[in-house]
Amino acid sequence: MKNLEKARAGVQDAEPEEGLQEEKVHFGYRLVTLKEKKKLVSRHFDTVAHKYDFMNTLLSMGAHLIWKRRAIRSLGLKAGQKVLDVCGGTGDMAFLAARQVGPSGLVLIYDMNLAMMEQASRKLPRAGYSKVVSMLQGDAEQLAVRDGVFDATIVAFGIRNLTRMEQGFREMFRVLKPGGTMLCLEFSTPRTPWFRRLYDFYSFHVMPGLGKLLAGSRQAYTYLPESIRVFPGPEELAERLREIGFQEVRYRRLTDGIAVIHLGKKPS
């Protein structure tokens, strides 16, 4: 696994963490300290990493691949641009972005969990983007990157797992170039009542059982729907992005709202 050269992406040392004991946040339905959530999220992805891609495809019936392609297309990336994939995990979004920016571009996968990035590293040669995609392990709430480096920052199905969601978005805002675009692809709740009931039954009763049977962890796939349920709805999230400083904030629901694309620009 290779890290991006500091001269190319402006990597810097992150500030030490402070105040992780006092505040309580959600880990699914549970309220835990910030420090506890970091440990629980790390343990969660250590557990699921080896089956992560398989389970995503199975549980979403392949829809996550369609959502990711639509999300990347909505960015309108150009050849030669630099993209930061926050909570980039096994690399799906990074590889799609690499196809858009081409050999003259740059995509950096930034993730705290080594087990997830090892999965991306195994996929990288087959994807054919070894000269475009690099990886760096680190905390998304304290990006070790200089201000104004990237043309686009993206996060897909990862922002729920941060201890401080707004801080993660602030960091994505900070490292964007003026005029750059932030993309967030995240789960939400279906709008249609009958579909919402069906989705909830599947999420809370079927999904955990499949997680136990096929990935060896019922708890990991109980956390997933719980974390979606406590996550802000599309309009609330859009308002929070505006408060952080993003402009031209808009969102698009996919599959009746199971997933939502949010876009926002850093002022020029």
Cα maximum dimension of the chain = 53
Name which residue leads in pLDDT, 116 or 6. 116
Where do the structural domains in the chain lie, given as residue ranges? 20-191+221-265
CATH class of residue range 20-191+221-265: alpha beta
> 63-75 and 52-60 are packed helices; what angle lies between their axes, rounded to 10 degrees?
100
C-alpha 60/C-alpha 41 separation (Å) is 21
Q: Does residue 84 carry a pLDDT above 60?
A: yes
The Cα-based distances of 211 to 114, 131, 218, 254 in angstroms read 21, 35, 5, 24
Q: What DSSP letter does each residue of 250-266 carry, written as one string? A: EEEEEGGGTEEEEEEE-
| pLDDT at residue 15, as a whole number | 47
Which of 5-9, 82-86, 147-151, 250-254 is the least confident region?
5-9
Name the percent of the chain lying above pLDDT 70: 92
Q: How confident is the model at residue 5 (pLDDT cuts 50, 70, 90)?
A: very low
| pLDDT at residue 164, as a whole number | 95
Q: Does residue 7 carry a pLDDT above 70?
A: no
Q: Does residue 16 carry a pLDDT above 50?
A: no
Span 238-253, average pLDDT: 98
Q: How confident is the model at residue 4 (pLDDT cuts 50, 70, 90)?
A: very low
Asked if 239 and 161 touch (Cβ cutoff 8 Å), the reply is: no
The Cα-based distances of 77 to 98, 106, 133, 154, 195 in angstroms read 9, 11, 15, 12, 34
| pLDDT at residue 226, as a whole number | 96
Span 117-141, average pLDDT: 94
Span 93-116, average pLDDT: 97
Structure confidence by residue, pLDDT tens digits, 156-198: 999 999 999 999 999 999 999 999 999 999 999 999 999 999 9
Structure confidence by residue, pLDDT tens digits, 19-72: 445 788 999 999 999 999 999 999 999 999 999 999 999 999 999 999 999 999
Span 11-22, average pLDDT: 50
Per DSSP, helices labelled H in 128-231 are: 165-175, 193-201, 207-210, 220-229
